[in-house]
Every structure is written in structure tokens, then in C-alpha cells.
Amino acid sequence: MNPKQQVEQLAKEINSYIPGMSIDCVLLGYKEGRMHVLVLKFKNADHWALPGGFIKKDEDMELAAQRVLFSRTGVTIPFLKQLRAFGTVNRRQINKFYSPIDYLPFPQAIKDFFNERFISMAYLALVNPETFVPVPDDFSEVCEWHPIGEVPYPLIYDHADMIDYAQQYIRQQIKYQPMGFSLLPERFTMNDLRGLYEAVLGHELDRANFQKKILKLEILNRHEKQMSGGAHKAPYLYSFNVEQYNKTLEKGLGFIS
């Protein structure tokens, strides 16, 4: 869409949204041994942001999160976890940026809507970055993965706080529940799985102890060795036993620290 079409489209939709409420989506993925987050760069502005948008008056919030994520990135996620609301009075003054509202000829009614105080609900999804190709929307220049801690700055408003909160959340969850089903390829090595846990926790884990604890859970199926060298050195491949994995999710276990 060109700028004029963007204005016309938003003018048609603005009254269908709940004033002062928004959604921001934190997509975390694991690749190259590090946790990454999906971010957008605005057109004509040197600012980055999480995929975000508004909630329709006749729409469930979970459905709104899925719609917003798809419209901003082209990514479809069947389930997003509601994290928490971010509602600090000055949250929009943190790393404030000039949005398209500031330089495109939007009607005053639209500018007034955007200038409201907003409370944003953050949603989280853990995904394998290799399973899809994100596509930027009409307001964005690029949509891409960046390692957490190396996201191009400034991120707008309190989006850095949202990423930090999501990271702390999964760091706690991984201590009590298995993780990796949506983050790793279908088949992986034990080193791959341990690398994921180390990336989330932020420290190294004892190799033998980790393998012992994971195998004790019986959430893995073992497959043929990955023949990359001598047969005696090749690592076994594993996949998740979906039924046992889900059972372990339900009852929860404290097995990694």
C-alpha cells in the first residue's frame, strides 16, 4: 500500500478498535546456539519494535494476538501465551519515536486515537525460526530475527522490557517443565538439546548430568546415529515422544537448574 492507501484503510478501521488497548507479540526462537527475537524496523524511522497492533471491539484477545502477528509478520502461530500487561504511565515516553502518524497526512481522529494512553498485553510464542519466513507489513522496512541482547536499538517504548520479561519467564519455566518441542528440528542430538537449555538459562550445564536427567524423563525417542565421522564418534539422534512430553508438561518436574 502507498501512504495514501494506508491512511484510507486505517480511517475505515479505527472505530472498530478498543481505545487505549494494544497487543505486542514476543516471538522467541533458537538458532546458531543462541536465543533470538523477531523484530520489525519501521519505514522512514531508525527504530525497531515487536509486532504489535490493536484489539477489535468484537474480538477475543487471543484471536487478536494471532491476527496482529499475522498481519505484521505473515507468521501464523496456533497458540500464544498471554504473559502480562504493561501499563506504566510513561511507557510510551521510553524510547519515543516518530511514527507514521507524525509524518503522514492522517485525519485528526486517528491522531487522537494514537495519542491515547495505551496499556499493552504481551503475548509469547516459542518457535523454530527455520520453519517460516517472516514478511514485513506495509509500515515496516524489514522483519527479521536478532539475538537477544543484540537487537538493533532503540526498541520503541518498553519493548525491551517485554523481551526481558519473556526471557525471564521461560528461564523459570524450563526449570520445571521440558522445553524444546517447538524450538528444535524434528530430530536433534543431545548436544543440540543441551545447547538450547544453556542458551535459555544463560550458563553451561554438566554434560553427563544433563543427559542423565533428560533420559530419566523418558520424553525422547532415540534414533540411528548421525554419521558424520567414525561410527563410534557419531552422536545419536533424538526426537520428542509427544505423548510423554505432554504428560510431563502437565505434571511438571524440577529437573534442570
DSSP string computed for 184-229: S-SSEEHHHHHHHHHHHHTS---HHHHHHHHHHHT-EEEEEE--SS
Contact 27, 127 (CB under 8 A): yes
Residue 228: its pLDDT value, please? 60
Beta strand 34-42 with 17-31: parallel, antiparallel or unpaired?
antiparallel
Residue 188: its pLDDT value, please? 94
Compute CA distances 96 → 44, 76, 155, 157, 250, whole Å.
15, 29, 9, 6, 41
- Can you say how many angstroms the Cα of residue 75 is from the centroid of all Cα atoms in its chain? 11
What is the CATH topology of the domain spanning 188-251?
A: Arc Repressor Mutant, subunit A (1.10.10)
What is the residue-averaged pLDDT of the chain? 88
Residue 62: its pLDDT value, please? 95
Residue 78: its pLDDT value, please? 84
Residue 144 β-bridge partners: 39
Residue 46: its pLDDT value, please? 82
**How confident is the model over 123-163, as pLDDT tens digits?**
999 999 998 899 999 889 999 999 998 887 789 999 999 99
Ranges of the chain with pLDDT below 50: none
Q: Where are the domains of the chain?
A: 3-173, 188-251
For the four alpha carbons of 168, 152, 104 and 97, in that order, the dihedral sign comes to positive
**How confident is the model over 5-31, as pLDDT tens digits?**
766 777 788 889 999 999 999 999 999
CATH architecture of 3-173: Alpha-Beta Complex (3.90)
